Amino acid sequence: MAGPMKPNNPNRRDSHQNGGDDKKRSPWSFLSIVMWAIMLVLLLHFCSSSMSRASVEDVPYSTFVDWVEEGYVDTVDVTSNVYTFTLKEDAPPLKEYLDKRKGAYGAGGWNQFVNQFSPSGSGSSSSTAIQFQTAPIPRSDLVPWLRENGVSEYETDMVTTEDYLLSAIVSYVLPMVIMVVALMLVYRYMFKKMGSGGGFGGIGGVGKSNAKVYVEKKTGVTFRDVAGQDEAKESLEEIIDFLHNPGKYTEIGAKLPKGALLVGPPGTGKTLLAKAVAGEANVPFFSISGSDFVEMFVGVGASRVRDLFKEASKMAPCIIFIDEIDTIGKSRDNRMGGNDEREQTLNQLLAELDGFDPGKGVIVLGATNRPEVLDKALLRPGRFDRRITIDRPNLAGRLATLQVHTRKIKLAEDVDLNKIALATAGTVGADLANLVNEAALRAVRKGRRLVTQEDLLASFEFVIAGSEKKNSVLTEFERKLVAYHEVGHAMVAYKQKNAEPVQKITIVPHTEGSLGYTLLMPEEDKTNLRTREELMAKIAVSMGGRAAEEVVMETMTNGASQDIQEATSIARNMVAMYGMSEEFGMMALGSVRNQYLDGGYGLDCAQDTAAVMDKAVKAVLDVCYKEAVEVIRANREDMDKVVAYLLEKETITGGEMVAIIEGRDPALVEGAYTSTRSRSQLPGDIEPPARHVHMTDEPIPMPPPPEDAPPADAPSAEEPAGGEADPSGNGPDSGA
């Protein structure tokens, strides 16, 4: 678990814990909060007064005097700065005002306008609901004048000093205090999330580094937790030794490498290896993703790069790990105008890599699975001095990885991790970790306390094919069609010399969309080196399902779509990349674009050449399909037997298939996962004579010669001159 970083020097304060240096905590931070609060309170008062004024109609003072003398005014509320009054219901100015408003609002708007003045919500337009106001001109005879002109009610509010102070506090002071407290809480939250800094500079600290800091005691990851990457660990161990013992390197004049680029497919453990380096070196570990540098504001990414290296230099010796560095390290071009945010961030990163002193012990580790898109200036020596490839593990690496992931798993005695490592060729560390976890979950579902070999192999099938569809129902014709399709794959693989052995055949539908599948597992670790015969055999096996559909069922289905795609991909690689076609020979027609992602390539040839290449690909597919059809026709009788047994059991092993073909009882085959090339001993089988021969180190005495035998040094007349063994087998040279 990652925890807060603690400084190596107890007398030095850490900006990640204390919120920055004291000089950053200036009084201007609090003053800025107060100013923001005052502005917000004034804005709220302005909005509230505007809303209240929107419900009152302003009239000139002269109009107010005319309406009073005409006897139209009903009530008057007198204050020091405004007169608020209402008109009588039969007053002509009120009717004129209402007619004017009604024409302006329309039917729906008029009802809404009247309801907002009606306290009861009934839509009444009484004079007591609609108010008018005017700015007063002081006069001494106000009260007698109102009384003479028939004003029914006039009043004024009595405001004391206490009421005035209370109103000011409630209206201004209290909202401002609440606003200050709220802004301070928001400020502290933003300060904690965005990093150290004072005030609201940089829009709440948006330009600060978001690096997560780890130390060895918190990560708990060392090289002991990383398996299958011995070459990568060997390259990084020198960097760790330099951090621990820089003296023996500086004596000879060597300099600490500034950076190392970890390159490999997803899931191979690049991030885990970087954490292990920090754990082994026992130094602070700054971890940040390349996407954290890119923001919508121009210049923010460059500011974060500067802040990251500034903080790292304070904590030196340390390690900076930038994951997915291709996000900011893409090759620069003129398509974006040369002034975008990503390019500025890259330029700042290049400057920082050149600027810091390697003697301080700051090492930059970058990780990517797209090294082909990185800028050349980023990869030159002096910035990223080493390029460490973390590729898919081989057989020994997969075995070591399985041993690491099963360290805390309770395994049964029948578990053979070597067989699991063989079956999982081409997988990465993340796949193996998921496989082991799925096996443990399956063991719990089955009510066991130990993980068995069957759980591990079943979890491998779950990863590649998904879980079984319990409610899927197929007709008899569909089941027979799927059975012949899958047995077609298995039969072609069994008869091919260079094909992988068949491990399992099933016609049970699975969630990954397949109605059945044939599982092939290699008997030995296969590297990326493949012969032309092996590739042709792989294509023929993929064509076996469609060949069985046409030969046996005399039809074609869409179930062979994935097989056709896989076969076409192999054949296209043989023509375009491997130089295995007669038309083009050793000519490369394409180049790899994403080596560590999908492995796809782009064509580097003309359109006419691409058309000829398609014909060459079809020729390869036709040859393999013809071979698959011949195998199906030659073994039709054996296929019928295997299909009949498969329809009954729904799932059979490769060993059971071999037993049916050889005329033995498949029910006697032991083991849930026996392949076509490794079957167990069956009852009734004749053991080879060599199993009864026992080797011994004791000398065996020679039998005494017969009485009428000639001396040993006298050659016999019947014995050849060369001293060859007696054909009868009774001579001394005929022993076992």
Which DSSP string corresponds to 582-593?
Answer: TTTTT---EEES
* Rounded Cα–Cα distance for residues 135 and 298 (Å): 52
8 A C-beta contact, residue 503 and residue 653: yes
**Residues ≥6 apart with Cβ < 8 Å to 391:** 264, 265, 268
Containing H/E element for 56? strand 56-58
What type of residue is 718?
Answer: E
User: Helices in 325-475 by DSSP H: which ranges?
Assistant: 341-355, 376-379, 395-405, 417-423, 429-445, 453-465
By the 10 Å C-beta count (0-12 exposed, 13-18 middle, 19+ buried), 112 is classed as: exposed
Q: Which helix (H) or strand (E) holds 659?
A: helix 654-661
Asked whether 688 and 696 are in contact (CB, 8 A), the reply is no
| CA-based end-to-end distance of the chain | 66
> What element of type H or E holds 259?
strand 259-263
Percent of the chain that is helix, strand, coil (3-state, to 5): 50, 10, 40
Spot the catalytic one: 311, 352, 486, 500: 486
**Within 13 A of 391's CA, how many CA atoms are on the CB side?**
10
Q: Which amino acid is at 68?
A: V
Here the tokens at position 423 are: 């079956």
By the 10 Å C-beta count (0-12 exposed, 13-18 middle, 19+ buried), 531 is classed as exposed
Handedness of CA 595, 599, 603, 609 (dihedral sign): positive
**Strand 651-653 to 153-155 pairing:** unpaired
Going 704 to 707 to 708 to 710, the CA torsion angle's sign is: positive
Contact 682, 668 (CB under 8 A): yes
HSE-CB at 634 with a 13 A cutoff on CA atoms is 11
CA-to-CA distance for 722 and 637, rounded, in angstroms?
A: 54
Cβ atoms of residues 26 and 199 within 8 Å: yes
Residue 131: beta bridge partners? 56
Task: Give me Rg for the CA atoms of the chain.
Answer: 44
Contact 199, 29 (CB under 8 A): yes
Pairing of strands 285-289, 153-155: unpaired
- Does 486 qualify as catalytic in the annotation? yes
The DSSP result for 429-459, as a single string, is: HHHHHHHHHHHHHHHHHTT-SSB-HHHHHHH
Q: Are 311 and 211 in contact (CB under 8 A)?
A: yes
**CA separation for the pair 593, 590 (Å, rounded):** 9
Q: Position 165: which residue type?
A: L
Active-site annotation, residues = 486
